[in-house]
Chains A and B, each alone.
Chain A
Amino acid sequence: MPMALGSEPITTSDTSPGRGSESIKGRSLGQIAWSRLRRDKAAVGGGVVVILLILVAIFAPLIVALLGHPPEEFHQELLDRTRGGIPTGTFGGMSRDFLFGLEPVSGRDLFSRVVYGARVSLLIAFLATLLSVVIGTVLGVIAGYFGGWVDSVIGRLIDLVLAFPLLLFAIVLVGVIPQSAFGLTGNGLRIAILVFIIGFFNWGYIARIIRGQALSLREREFIDAARSLGARGPYIIFREMLPNLAAPILVYSTLLIPTNILFEAGLSFLGVGIQPPTPSWGQTLATAVRFYNLPHYIFWPGMAIFITVLAFNLFGDGLRDALDPKTK
């Protein structure tokens, strides 16, 4: 994944005008960034964990088949009926068979719940980020390129979105989801709506950054050159400006993913996100609250969120440092 991410700016910067001086030196912006990124141990570590997590999410059924038990399978025989369904054995029944132990009362394999939870979290976070980035970039570029009243209208809109009681509004909206709509039912619909809500309210920050970058790009010589050659608005925006905005878009979408993961986990924790039996980290934590005397139940899903978010943050920070020549 970082190979693809790191090499993307190479192709874009090679085709974009205004980078001529760098190609003489034989090193494009992308190559410089890639070599910087490789030297940053924290970023590489974060990137490796991110790839592993994506693989875990994709191959969840395989991993669970090898190392665990299906997430919907109940192992009542391993629970202590006399003590209210608490798993027998130490640390909540953690063993080679049940790596993270068992869920109390239901007796499901916590390991496979956490592994499958990665699917929901990453899927929602990626799709929501994609939506935010598309909205943010389009509005940001339009505002930055056209300026004037277009800019002030979009600027107001950005302020509005940034100043919104986001979480409050999200729980209100998610809380009133009907059982079925748009031909989708149950958790399929919930995932779609979560993606929509998270994505739709999180584009403010990225739009502001893209707007600022587009404003300064507009004044550059190569844009003037394109305009004097007769290029029109859409051509300039898509062929001249967007390739030069690839770096900030990449950096801020990487940094938006962890925010969105936390957001989904928070909503599921509050009980308005993904509904059981589909596993989700936040939802597992919410059920774990009632079993505070079984720390393993809180620990594993919590650590899963923490590690995922930390890995994305490390990788995103490293990417920003590598792509932004002003830092370091």
Chain B
Amino acid sequence: MVVVSMITFAIFFLVPRLAGQTPELMAARYVGPRARSDQYHEVAERLGFFDPIHVQYWHWLKAIFVGMEFNYGNGVEHCPAPCFGYSYLRSTPVWPDLLERVPVTASLAIGAAVIWVLFGVSTGVISALRRGSIFDRVSMGTALAGVSLPIFFTGLMTLVIFSYGHPFRITAPGSSYTPFTENPAEWAYDLILPWITLAFLFAAAYARLTRAGMLETMHEDFIRTARAKGLAERAVVLKHGLRAALTPIVTIFGLDLGLLLGGAVLTESTFSLPGLGKYAVDAVMRQDFPQVMGVTMFATFFIVVANLVVDILYAVVDPRVRVG
């Protein structure tokens, strides 16, 4: 939790500073370019842009937990509890915008995660068991190519092949998003290309990791013990070998998933999916700081939660770790 507050502070402190923004310039974004310069000054003062940095930080933090009253000059507006401020350009509150985009990113990340774990781990296990076989070589070659392919290139290529080229057309060009609750079939149909693209990259990395982990654990003493006591090979591999090899995979999986839930930036941009990552990129392009800060905080939150979950899962997966 120390980490959370540090990141929060770092982001808050760094972003406006590095932007070279003066209080007047920031106020100008709220008022519009046509106002007089003394008006900028007045607005900047009212919004507290001249306050020292720690006071501004405190206001911002307080707004997230208890909400805030904004005085724009023409009446007071109330921004309820998780308040990340208002967008400069659209003057809508940031929080509902963020919530609206969570399902898109979550569908993308979770769907892809299922695919990549299934493919990556099973390929890794089989490769490790049949080391040096044709299967091992082909799949490891593919995996190496997979980790070397930039996601936006694979994404574009799948789009070109499956969606614009007529013979194998899968989805409509310029992917759209249909909520799961509206039409599950349509939902999966729209997401299949992003899923495959994202899963391919991660499956490749996981296959390499699983293979390396399995090769190491299968030489351990406890595997010999398991074999010696007459366990079936299947039980030896799955219950003893894979379980021990899985520990590092679980760590990385948790972190990856947390990172993706905070916005699969490149995939969402490539397929123009309206998720958190696309939101972040658009916000940066428009220099809309409340939006940028909101989405960064949100993403950080997911990563911290993922870290916690990973620590708890450790105890479940690895019999050597026990919660004391």
Q: How many A-B residue pairs have CB under 8 A?
A: 123
A266, B296: Cβ atoms under 8 Å? no
Given contacts A162-B255, A269-B269, 6 further A-B contacts (CB under 8 A): A165-B299, A176-B19, A176-B287, A266-B266, A271-B285, A310-B144
B241 within 8 A of A: no
B321 within 8 A of A: no
Q: A176-B18, A270-B266, A292-B164 are in contact. Are A165 and B300 (CB under 8 A)?
A: yes
Pick the residue among A162, A167, A298, A305 that contacts B265 (CB under 8 A): A167
List 28 contacting pairs A-B, 8 Å CB cutoff, sorted by A: A159-B3, A163-B303, A163-B304, A164-B7, A165-B303, A168-B262, A171-B280, A173-B18, A175-B285, A176-B15, A176-B287, A178-B20, A181-B20, A265-B150, A269-B150, A270-B265, A270-B281, A285-B153, A298-B153, A298-B156, A302-B150, A302-B153, A302-B157, A305-B150, A306-B150, A313-B147, A313-B148, A314-B144
Which residues of chain B in 279-319 are interfacial with respect to chain A, using CB atoms and an 8 Å cutoff?
A: 280-281, 284-285, 287, 292, 295-296, 299-300, 303-304, 307
A272, B284: Cβ atoms under 8 Å? yes
Contacts of A99 in B (CB 8 A): none
B292, A172: Cβ atoms under 8 Å? yes
A172, B284: Cβ atoms under 8 Å? yes
B6, A310: Cβ atoms under 8 Å? no
The distance from the CB of A252 to the nearest CB of chain B, in whole angstroms, is 15
A160 within 8 A of B: yes
Residue in A closest to B265 when the chains form the complex, CB atoms: A167
Pick the residue among A168, A178, A289, A317 that contacts B156 (CB under 8 A): A289
A91 within 8 A of B: no
Pick the residue among B3, B147, B164, B284 that contacts A293 (CB under 8 A): B164
B160 within 8 A of A: yes
Q: Which residues of B contact A (CB under 8 A)?
A: 3, 6-7, 11, 14-15, 18-20, 144-145, 147-153, 156-157, 159-160, 164, 173, 255, 259, 262-263, 265-266, 269-270, 277, 280-281, 284-285, 287, 292, 295-296, 299-300, 303-304, 307
The distance from the CB of B277 to the nearest CB of chain A, in whole angstroms, is 8
Q: A173-B18, A262-B150, A270-B266 are in contact. Are A165 and B164 (CB under 8 A)?
A: no
Q: How far is the CA of A295 from the CA of B6 in the complex (A)?
A: 45
Q: Per DSSP, are chain A's interface residues mostly helix, strand or loop, or mixed?
A: helix
Contacts of B160 in A (CB 8 A): 292, 295, 298
Q: Per DSSP, are chain B's interface residues mostly helix, strand or loop, or mixed?
A: helix
A309 within 8 A of B: yes
Q: How far is the CA of A173 from the CA of B159 in the complex (A)?
A: 30
A258, B269: Cβ atoms under 8 Å? no
A105-140 interface bits toward B, Cβ cutoff 8 Å, 1 = contact, 0 = none: 000000000000000000000000000000000000
A288 within 8 A of B: yes
Interface residues on A, range: 35 or more
Pick the residue among B3, B151, B295 that contacts A163 (CB under 8 A): B3
Residue in B closest to A269 when the chains form the complex, CB atoms: B152
Pick the residue among B20, B157, B269 that contacts A298 (CB under 8 A): B157
The distance from the CB of B13 to the nearest CB of chain A, in whole angstroms, is 13
The distance from the CB of B200 to the nearest CB of chain A, in whole angstroms, is 13
Q: A168-B295, A292-B164 are in contact. Are A285 and B284 (CB under 8 A)?
A: no
A146-175 interface bits toward B, Cβ cutoff 8 Å, 1 = contact, 0 = none: 000000000010011011110111011101
Q: How far is the CA of A125 from the CA of B161 in the complex (A)?
A: 31
Q: A172-B292, A292-B173 are in contact. Are A313 and B144 (CB under 8 A)?
A: yes
The distance from the CB of A286 to the nearest CB of chain B, in whole angstroms, is 8
**Residue among B6, B152, B255 with the most chain A CB within 10 A?**
B152
